[in-house]
Amino acid sequence: MTRPSLAHDVRVVDTTLRDGSHAMAHQFTEAQVRDTVRALDAAGVGVIEVTHGDGLGGSSFNYGFSHTDEMALIAAAREEARQAKIAVLLVPGIGTVDDLKRARDHGADMVRVATHCTEADVSPQHFAAARDLGMETAGFLMMAHRTPPENLARQARIMVDAGCQAPYVTDSAGALLMHEARARFEALLAEVGDEAWVGYHGHQNMSFGVANSVIAQEVGVRYIDGSLCALGAGSGNSPTEVLAAVFDRLGVSTGLDVMALLDAAEDVVRPYLTRWPKMDRNAIVQGWAGVYSSFLLHAETAAERYKVPTHEILRRCGELGLVGGQEDMIIDVAIRLAEVR
């Protein structure tokens, strides 16, 4: 697959309705999705991601049940979007090729296949399926801080050879310092830059999401993720409205209407927020200890149940090196901490 042509210096992908699902405990309604997509589309956002926070098939006991079936949300998003593409996330082992086919039937144009940063070899069958379905593709190398730049680049090569049009440096823990992010961007660009675009997905747990996005653009990364009001796991993602304003100040072409995005954040998303992601003790511990951002709500629930501090649970998860898909281990961590208190 060839990489798609881009009309602007940066293609901002909004993930309010996917990563933001974590902060919303996966309780998005169809009306909220319709309102948000309509506002993002009118503001010029070219790709809008819509699924359960853990991707297709994520609605479950382990990850949290959705309020509304994700296929209904994808279909609603497709109906509202006039120019934007609708993207879905797929984590192999959670979502299946059948889920991807259903998502395509309901209006998805693009899939972002997400694996742990050292496990890209589980993604080729999903990229092959996406090619057969005529979908655009991107690849998330999650927890990118957990492997050196040169190995991350080798994993990106696996994805690109399988049909990925945009491998991502995915800072799932919001842990990458600026020089660490730059090294990974440069490694991926050196490996696949002539064949695929490179993307960056940041979290604000240590406040580097926007700064690393600027570095990404400076070195040649073309896909950059954001969420309105920073709505996402942990302390949230790089705010889409802030990215638009910063890139506008820098003279970087995005095709985004800054004031329309500010209105969307303030008038559409903010009223339905059940929690506003913030850099509090728990979120900062996630970035500092390198903990998967979506562990936050699970850790808070376990902390309440077993009467141990959330930040202690998160710090121990970091020490154990837990990764996405091991949410069930948070309960084990909480029990063991309670036993020694």
Looking at the structure, tell me whether residues 237 and 322 fall in a common domain: no
The response to whether 123 counts as a known ligand-binding position is: no
Q: Whole-angstrom Cα distance, residue 116 to residue 340?
A: 31
Give the residue numbers spanning the domain of 335: 294-340
Catalytic-residue membership of 22: yes
For residue 25, give every residue at least 6 positions away whose Cβ sits within 8 Å of its Cβ, in sequence order, or none.
64, 274, 297
How high is the pLDDT of residue 231? 97
226: β partners: 14
Q: Which residues contact 26 (CB under 8 A, 6 or more apart)?
A: 52, 53, 58, 59, 63, 64, 65, 66, 67
Nearest CA among 45, 50, 19, 37 for reference residue 247: 45
The alpha helices in 222-292, defined as continuous H runs, are 240-250, 258-263, 281-289
| pTM of the predicted structure, to 2 decimals | 0.94
Domain identity same for 259 and 322 = no
Q: Is residue 61 part of a domain?
A: yes
Q: Is 126 annotated as a binding residue?
A: no
What's the CATH number where 81 sits? 3.20.20.70
Return the pLDDT at 240.
98
Contacts of 6 (CB under 8 A, 6+ apart): 197, 222
233 falls within a domain: yes
* pLDDT number for residue 263: 98
Are residues 228 and 317 located together in one domain of the fold? no
- The annotation status of 223 as a binding-site residue, yes or no, is no
- Whether 229 and 315 map to the same domain: the answer is no
Write down which residue in 220, 238, 272 finishes a domain.
272
- 227 marked as part of a ligand binding site: no
Claim to verify: residue 181 and residue 118 sit in the same structural domain: yes
Is the residue at 288 inside a domain? Answer: no
Q: How far is CA 119 from CA 116, 144, 201, 320, in A?
A: 5, 11, 18, 18
Residue 283 lies in a domain: no
CATH number, domain with residue 322: 1.10.8.60
The answer on 79 and 196 residing in a single domain is: yes
- Residues 104, 244, single domain; the answer is yes
In this prediction, residue 50 carries a pLDDT of: 98
Q: Does residue 4 lie within any of the structural domains? A: no
Are 165 and 195 a contacting pair, CB within 8 Å? no
From CA 151, how far away is CA 177, in angstroms rounded? 18
Distances from the Cα of 41 to the Cαs of 27, 79, 81, 110, 278, in angstroms? 22, 11, 6, 16, 26
> What residues contact 255, with CB distance under 8 A and at least 6 apart?
7, 8, 44, 46
Q: Looking at the structure, do residues 156 and 32 belong to the same domain, yes or no? A: yes
Same domain? 221 vs 323 = no
The DSSP call for residue 266 is I
Residue 296's identity, in one-letter code, is L
The pLDDT value recorded for residue 193 is 87
Q: Is residue 284 part of a domain?
A: no
Q: What is the pLDDT of residue 48?
A: 98
CA geometry: angle at 68 spanning 233 and 300, to 5°?
Answer: 35
Q: Can you read off the two tokens belonging to residue 140? A: 């998330």
Q: Is residue 285 part of a domain?
A: no
Among left, alpha and beta (phi > 0; psi -120 to 50; other), residue 8 is beta
CA-nearest of 59, 46, 4 to 225 is 46
Task: Check whether residue 189 and residue 334 sit in a common domain.
Answer: no
What tokens appear for 20 in the block? 């933001």
> How many structural domains comprise the chain?
2
Tens of pLDDT along the chain (341 residues) come to: 688 999 999 999 999 999 999 999 999 999 999 999 999 999 999 999 999 999 999 999 778 899 999 999 999 999 999 999 999 999 999 999 999 999 999 999 999 999 999 999 999 999 999 999 999 999 999 999 999 999 999 999 999 999 999 999 999 999 999 999 999 999 999 999 899 999 999 999 999 999 999 999 999 999 999 999 999 999 999 999 999 999 999 999 999 999 999 999 999 999 999 888 889 999 999 999 999 888 988 999 999 999 999 999 999 998 999 888 888 899 999 999 998 87
Q: Same domain, yes or no, for 253 and 302?
A: no
Same domain, 138 and 233: yes
Phi, psi of 57 (to 5 degrees): 80, 5
> For 274, phi and psi rounded to 5 degrees?
-90, -20
Q: Domain for residue 282, yes or no?
A: no
How far apart CA 200 and CA 195 sit, in angstroms, is 17
